Amino acid sequence: MILILSSDDDVHARHVMQHIAESGHTATLLNLADFPKDAHLIFEAGQSSSRRLMQYRGRTIDLSKVSSVWWRRPQPYGMHPDVTDPVLDHFAIREVDEAIQGLWLSLDAKWINVPSRDQDASRKAWQLDVARSVGLTVPRTLITTDPDAARAFIDREGVDRTIYKPFQGSEDAWRETRLLKAEELDKIDAVKYAPVIFQEYIEATCDLRVTVVGDKIFAAAIDSQKAAYRVDFRMDMNVAITPTTLAPETEAGIRKLMQALDLTYGAIDFRRRPNGEEVFLEINPAGQWLFVEDQTGQPISKAVADCLIERADLKRVPTLTDPIMGRVIRAPLPTFRSDQTVAAR
C-alpha cells in the first residue's frame, strides 16, 4: 500500500495519485488534520503479533500493509473542540504527536522523505554547511541575534548588496527575501528579538529550480531578472521557465548533498551568476514543482509516483484504457495556481 500524508486540497498530491492510478495502483491520502478529532488510531502489540489500524472517514486502514509513504506536508493535528483548557490542549497535542511519531517508526515502509530527515534538512544553517562541505558554492551568510554582528556584516557587504530573509514562511505570515535598504538600518537592533538570515546579494542572469527525485535531477531556469521583483522570483512568477543543463560540478554536488542529508526528494534553489557559476541558496525537502512542470513539461509528478511505486515494490501494470474510445483514463486535475507567492516553497 502507498500512503500519502498531506491535505485534501494539495494539488501536488492529486497529480501524483493520478499517475499512480494510471500505473494500475492506488494510493491512500491521510490528512492528519482529521486526527484525533475525526479519526481513531488502534495500535496493539503482543509477543507474537501487532496491529496498526487507522479508522478514517468510514473505513479502516491497515497500516501494517503500508510499504511506501510520501511525507508530503502533513497538516497539524485537529484537536477535539471539547478540549478547551489550554493546559489540557497542550498535553493532548503532545500525546497525539508521541503516538503518531511512534507509529511511523514502527512501519516497515520506505519513505519519501523519512520525517526526521525531512525536518533536519529544512534547517537553514545545517543545509548551508552541508552544501559547502560537498563542494557547492554558497553565499556569504550570517545568522545572528547580535545587532553589532549584523552591522559588521552589512558594512562588509554594503547596504545595497545585502539581502535578509526569515527561516520559514507560511500563507499567514509570509516574508519574501528582501534587499536591505539604507532606511532600514535603524531597525537592525530588532534582530535581538529573533534571529535573521543575512546574505550577500548574488547578481544573476537567472534563478534555477532543481527538483531531485531519487536519482533523477530536473533543472529549470527561471527568467527572474525580467520580473518586476528580481530579488525573489516567488514574488513575480509571470516569467519564462525553461529546462536547463547544470554544470557537471553542480550536479555532482547535488547528488552528494542529497546523500549527506539522506533525502530522496528535494527542491533546491540556485542563482546563476553572469560568469556561469551556480550558487546554492537553499533546499526545501517538500518544495513545490508544478509551477515548473506546467511550463517545462518535465515529468516530475510521474517521477514521484514511480518512486513511490518502486519503493512499495509494486510492479507496473498496463495503463487503464477506455474500452470504447481506447484512450487513457485520466480524471481531470485542478489547475495549479502559480501566481501565488508561496507557490514555489
Q: Residues 95-113: what's their mean pLDDT?
A: 94
Domain shared by 123 and 255, yes or no: yes
Domain shared by 8 and 108, yes or no: yes
267 DSSP β-pair partners: 211, 284
Domain shared by 121 and 269, yes or no: yes
The Cα–Cα gap between 177 and 191 comes to 16
Residue 199's pLDDT band, with cuts at 50, 70 and 90, is very high
Q: What is the pLDDT of residues 226-235, one digit of tens each?
A: 866 666 676 6
| Residue 279 lies inside a defined structural domain of this protein | yes
The Cα–Cα gap between 15 and 267 comes to 17
Q: What is the pLDDT of residues 129-165, one digit of tens each?
A: 999 999 999 999 999 999 999 999 999 999 889 988 8
Residue 145: partners with Cβ closer than 8 Å, 6 or more residues away: 191, 192, 193, 194, 195, 196
Domain shared by 129 and 251, yes or no: yes
* The predicted structure's pLDDT at residue 160: 86
User: Whole-prediction pTM value?
Assistant: 0.87
User: Which of 323 and 155 is assigned the larger pLDDT?
Assistant: 155
| Residue 90 lies inside a defined structural domain of this protein | yes
Q: What is the pLDDT of residues 204-260, one digit of tens each?
A: 999 999 999 999 999 999 998 786 666 667 666 778 999 999 999 999 999 999 999
* The predicted structure's pLDDT at residue 170: 52
What one-character DSSP code corresponds to residue 172? S
pLDDT at 324 over 60: no
Last residue of a domain, one of 154, 180, 200: 200
Q: Which of 167, 156, 154, 153 is nearest to 196 (CA)?
A: 167
CB 196 within 8 A of CB 144: yes
* The predicted structure's pLDDT at residue 172: 57
